[in-house]
Amino acid sequence: MISKRILWVAGFAAMFAGITAAQAGNPAAGKEKSKSCAACHGADGNSTVPDFPRLAGQHYDYLVKALSDYKSGERKNAIMAPLAASLSKRDIEDLAAFYSRQQGLTVKY
């Protein structure tokens, strides 16, 4: 019954990976909160305007850091600073959870 044991181990490993990949933040709540961001970054984070960075598929940690840095003033940008200032830690985590789960466009060069 070795194969069954391997399946168990693989199952637990997959569960554990799922838990660690889940991160903090609620993607459904993030989707709601992202409505005010959509005008610039696109509904699912796939901005079509070069001035506005694509957020879809970006790493969760990167998004949390970028937004936290705008909020703290560590990263300076006249557009994003006031927007991030009004976000709570929870908002930032929810938004990051949402955008990191969106499919980024494949750009062909």
Instruction: Rule CB under 6 A: say whether 39 interacts with ligand HEC.
Output: yes
Q: Least distance to ligand HEC from the beta carbon of 77, Å? A: 4
Q: Which among 103, 99, 101, 104 has a CA at the least distance from the CA of 33?
A: 99
User: Whole-angstrom Cα distance, residue 72 to residue 80?
Assistant: 11
| Least Cβ distance, residue 19 to ligand HEC (angstroms) | 25
CA terminus-to-terminus distance, the chain: 51
Size of the site for ligand HEC (CB under 6 A): 17
Q: Which of 9, 13, 14, 79 binds ligand HEC (CB under 6 A)?
A: 79
**Residues with Cβ < 8 Å from 90, sequence gap 6 or more?**
25
97 binds ligand HEC, rule: CB under 6 A: no
**Coil/strand/helix, residue 48:** coil
- Residues of this chain that interact with ligand HEC (CB under 6 A) are 36-37, 39-41, 51-53, 55, 63, 66-67, 77, 79-80, 83, 95
